[in-house]
Amino acid sequence: MIKTDLTGALSFIDEKELPGAEDKKALTDLLDGKIGRGGAGWLRLPEDYSDAVSAAIRSAAYQIADNSEVLVVIGIGGSYLGARAALDLLRTPYYNQIKKRTPDIYFAGNNLSGEYLEQVIALIGGRNFSVNYVSKSGATMEPSAAFRVFKNLLDSKYGAEGARKRIYTTTDGEKGKLRQLTDRKGYTSFAIPDDIGGRYSVLTAVGLLPAAVAGIDIDELMSGARDIMNKDKDDVLQYASARQALYRQGKKIEILGCFEPSFRSMGEWWKQLFGESEGKDGRGIFPVYTEFTTDLHSLGQYIQSGERSLFETFVSIEKTSAAIRVPKDGELEDGLETLAGRELQELNRAAFAATKAAHNDGGVPVIQLDVPQLSPYYFGALVQFFELSCAVSALISKVNPFDQPGVEAYKKNMYAILGLQK
């Protein structure tokens, strides 16, 4: 299972304080349902996942794959980040460029750029496509504008009835503008429980439907999440507790780093999860994602020698399937002939160890999270691990992990500029 290694952080904090009594109480209260009403429904998802839920999602995925060469997932924030993370990490960031039996998957509605949307439409071209519109309310500007564009394209290409059969919605089960439209039009739909916020919704149909369309084993994914809930939470608590202990030491920035490029979208989801959950009331650790070794050649200097207001969390993927070796080539004369015959993963592991040691020596605490391998099982486990540790960490710092009042500020200004009513 996922393990928390604090050896790179213990010289900066007192191990005896980890976890503290308040830290343990925060986890216990969360699991006992004493807090988080209206926002902690995600805790039940692994246990509530049933054969019926699995069959309904897989049936829709098969239908999409049967009649469409492309699926467009429309959503912003938690409505798409988890799905994109699963696609990149469990298939490949080049998913749409490889030959496969499953549809290409494009993401839209996560910005207001006309250039971006034109490019997605051009990539679809004349191919058959379906749309998965993900929004609890159906009234968020970015995805709403994109859905109007793609609904118009579907209507023009297939007619109203043909378009209806190609639109899948993931929304509130009872209320909201998208629920009303879904019921009126008869779209195939999946419900987001009312007590689950967007950033905690990866393990609902929000993330599971696109994953299933891509051929990912969603039953295995949920099995990993279930095991996190059923086994002891010591590693979850250690991560949450260490973060807050470092924060009290003035380490106000957390840099999540991974040495696998396919982890990038997972890092983007992690940023939203922790940023929206903790950044309130003038408090919170600022979350940043870095891709190593790439970013060692851009941010590495600052991390090594800049202001000491940060700490790092390294995600270590212990086992990968790659077996590429460095070829021998005597013509290069680059002084690296001794690399010949070595696997790149050996070099990557060496870079991981060297970076952790160098940053520690430079005054940067490093928490290490060990993940056995890249698989649906461990993706689900990591999602549940991060969600639990995030909620506990926020509770330790005395903020509500399940609201995001600051997100509305820019929306009010934008609606005023555009002359719209909110």
Q: What is the mean pLDDT of each run of 10 residues along the chain (422 residues)?
A: 95 85 91 79 95 97 98 95 97 96 97 97 98 92 96 97 97 94 96 93 97 98 97 95 95 97 97 96 96 95 96 94 84 80 89 96 97 96 98 94 75 72 65
pLDDT at 294: 96
The one-character DSSP state at 280 is B
Question: Phi and psi for 134 in degrees, rounded to 5?
Answer: -115, 110
pLDDT at 422: 61
In a domain, 245, yes or no: yes
Task: Give the chain's domain count.
Answer: 2
In a domain, 418, yes or no: no
Closest C-alpha to 411, from 420, 402, 403 = 420
Check whether residue 235 and residue 337 sit in a common domain. Answer: yes
174 is catalytic: no
In a domain, 414, yes or no: no
Closest C-alpha to 201, from 324, 311, 39 = 39
Q: Which of 328, 411, 412, 422 is catalytic?
A: 411
Closest C-alpha to 105, from 131, 79, 125 = 131
Check whether residue 321 and residue 275 sit in a common domain. Answer: yes
276 is catalytic: yes
In a domain, 406, yes or no: no
- Name the packing angle between helices 81-90 and 264-278 (round to 10°): 150
- 165, 193, 216: which is the final residue of a domain? 216
Closest C-alpha to 401, from 35, 8, 13 = 35
Q: Which of 260, 276, 312, 387 is catalytic?
A: 276
Check whether residue 190 and residue 290 sit in a common domain. Answer: no
Residues with Cβ < 8 Å from 359, sequence gap 6 or more? 303, 304, 312, 366
Closest C-alpha to 365, from 241, 260, 242 = 242
Check whether residue 178 and residue 278 sit in a common domain. Answer: no
pLDDT at 37: 65
The position carrying tokens 């608590």 is 237
- 216, 249, 277: which is the final residue of a domain? 216
In a domain, 114, yes or no: yes
Check whether residue 108 and residue 234 sit in a common domain. Answer: no
In a domain, 321, yes or no: yes
DSSP readout, 120-155?
HHHHHTTS-EEEEEE-SSS--HHHHHHHHHHHHHHH
Cα torsion angle, 188, 143, 74, 157, sign: positive
Cα 237 from Cα 369, distance rounded (Å): 12
Q: Which domain holds residue 263?
A: 3-34+224-397
- 160, 192, 216: which is the final residue of a domain? 216
In a domain, 59, yes or no: yes
Check whether residue 209 and residue 313 sit in a common domain. Answer: no
In a domain, 255, yes or no: yes
Q: What is the number of alpha carbons within 13 Å of residue 408 lying toward its C-beta?
A: 5
Check whether residue 244 and residue 384 sit in a common domain. Answer: yes
pLDDT at 413: 73
Cis peptide leading into 19, omega within 30 of 0? yes
Cα 87 from Cα 81, distance rounded (Å): 10
Check whether residue 272 and residue 391 sit in a common domain. Answer: yes
Rounded to two decimals, the pTM is 0.94
Longest dimension (CA), the chain: 70
Helix (H) or strand (E) holding 313: strand 310-319
1 and 381 Cβ atoms separated by less than 8 Å? yes
Q: Residue 210: which CATH number?
A: 3.40.50.10490
Angle at 36 between CA 173 and CA 204, to 5 degrees: 40
